[in-house]
Amino acid sequence: MPEVLTAPLVVEFPFTRSLGPVQSAFLTGLRARTVLGVRASDGRVVVPPTEYDPVTAEEIRELVEVGTTGTVTTWAWNARPRPGQPLGTPFAWALVTLDGADTALLHALDAPGAESVHSGMRVRIRWAEERTGAITDIACFEPYDSEPGRQPTAHSGEFADTDTETNADTDANADAGPVTGIIAPARLDYTYAPGRAQSRYLNALVDRRTVGERCPACRKVYVPPRGACPTCGVATDEQVEAGPNGTVTTFCIVNIKARNLDIEVPYVYAHIALDGADLALHARIGGIPYDQVRMGLRVAPVWTEGARFPDHYRPTGEPDADYDSYKELI
Ligand SMILES: [Zn+2]
């Protein structure tokens, strides 16, 4: 049996989003240790606030201040917190209906153990010491023995700091103005196991060979191989070497610079059908001005020292391939 390959794989989409008036008010409020909801057309107070009425889809703007104490409606125990989660020690994910609100907010609840958490328990917000206008300004919830609160009055401040904390550190960033945007880091950490077919493909790449697999039924050669033909539903175990040269079947011009990628824009990313393959793989095209790349362009891989994949493909100088020769591979 060949060695089973595994590797860490991180999929990360850090994106910057702007906030509309409602979300801006909500996060600006959190920075000042105030929780704001919106009043929906049916009179309910929605926290966290939505920009549109959950029933009628009408735009809603009436902000309502709610309490910083609330009631757990339901919860799940998280025994093994993962990196980036609100607390490093075991905690409960809880839906908390804040006093004065009619909907629940999802957040972490710091509790000594699962046996100490129950639906209906009273909790309060533990504020982060440094607040920036983000949901993490609420560090977490914590158990807090208190009576359910009163109904809110719009923006009255009547719920502000009724507990014993001092108000001294309230909104150190007050001069910074309203929060108008957030950076939302979405990140997934995997351990990826490519399986037998792709492991053979990856092992062959070490020798700078491209090995695909042929379907015994339709005779198509898949590069990279997935171990089965998606059309015929049968295993593909006949190995076939493809390339190294190929044909650009289609392409796009990239104008946005990606983080961690040291390539000047614009550049071309293309689908390339390697000679002998019935599936196009994708790679960057170099060695030619971006506006001269075309369908049918014949290309060859360019390897860099120690790399597991070709760095990019460059033109071979051959005449362009006939459209008919690759039209099924676009
Ligand atoms: Zn097939």
The CA R_g of the chain, rounded to the nearest whole Å, is: 28
Distance 266 CA to ligand 1 centre (A): 37
Question: Is the distance from CB of 70 to CB of 62 less than 8 angstroms?
Answer: no
In a 13 Å sphere around the CA of 43, the CA atoms on its Cβ side amount to 1
29 strand-pairing partners: none
Distance 5 CA to ligand 1 centre (A): 26
Distance 222 CA to ligand 1 centre (A): 9
Identify residue 18 by its one-letter amino acid code. Answer: S
Tokens in use for 78?
Answer: 């998280």
Identify residue 267 by its one-letter amino acid code. Answer: Y
Distance 253 CA to ligand 1 centre (A): 32
**CA end-to-end span of the chain:** 35
Distance 209 CA to ligand 1 centre (A): 23
39 strand-pairing partners: 45
- State how far the Cα of 118 lies from the Cα of 141, in Å rounded to an integer: 14
pLDDT at 183: 87
Distance 232 CA to ligand 1 centre (A): 4
Distance 220 CA to ligand 1 centre (A): 6
Distance 313 CA to ligand 1 centre (A): 28
Residue given tokens 């690759």 in the structure block: 326
Q: How many CB atoms lie within 10 A of CB 299?
A: 27
Distance 239 CA to ligand 1 centre (A): 14
Residue given tokens 């719009």 in the structure block: 154
Spans of all domains in the chain: 13-184, 194-329
Distance 234 CA to ligand 1 centre (A): 7
pLDDT at 175: 65
pLDDT at 174: 59
Which residues, chain by chain, have CB under 5 Å from ion ligand 1? 215, 217-218, 229, 231-232
Distance 321 CA to ligand 1 centre (A): 25
- State how far the Cα of 192 lies from the Cα of 5, in Å rounded to an integer: 8
pLDDT at 196: 87
Distance 272 CA to ligand 1 centre (A): 20
Q: Three-class SS of residue 326?
A: helix
Distance 329 CA to ligand 1 centre (A): 15
- State how far the Cα of 63 lies from the Cα of 26, in Å rounded to an integer: 9
Tens-binned pLDDT, residue by residue, of the chain (330 aa): 567 789 999 888 878 889 999 999 999 999 999 999 999 999 999 999 999 998 899 999 899 999 999 999 999 999 999 888 999 999 999 999 999 999 999 999 999 999 999 999 999 999 999 999 999 999 999 999 887 765 444 444 455 444 444 444 555 555 678 999 998 888 888 899 988 899 999 999 999 999 999 999 999 999 989 899 999 999 998 999 999 999 999 999 999 887 777 888 999 999 999 999 999 999 999 999 999 999 999 999 999 998 888 999 999 999 999 999 999 988
- State how far the Cα of 34 lies from the Cα of 170, in Å rounded to an integer: 10
Distance 169 CA to ligand 1 centre (A): 67
DSSP per-residue string spanning 138-166:
EEEEEE----------TT--TTTT-SS--
Question: Is the distance from CB of 136 to CB of 59 less than 8 angstroms?
Answer: no
pLDDT at 162: 45
Question: Is the distance from CB of 278 to CB of 326 less than 8 angstroms?
Answer: no
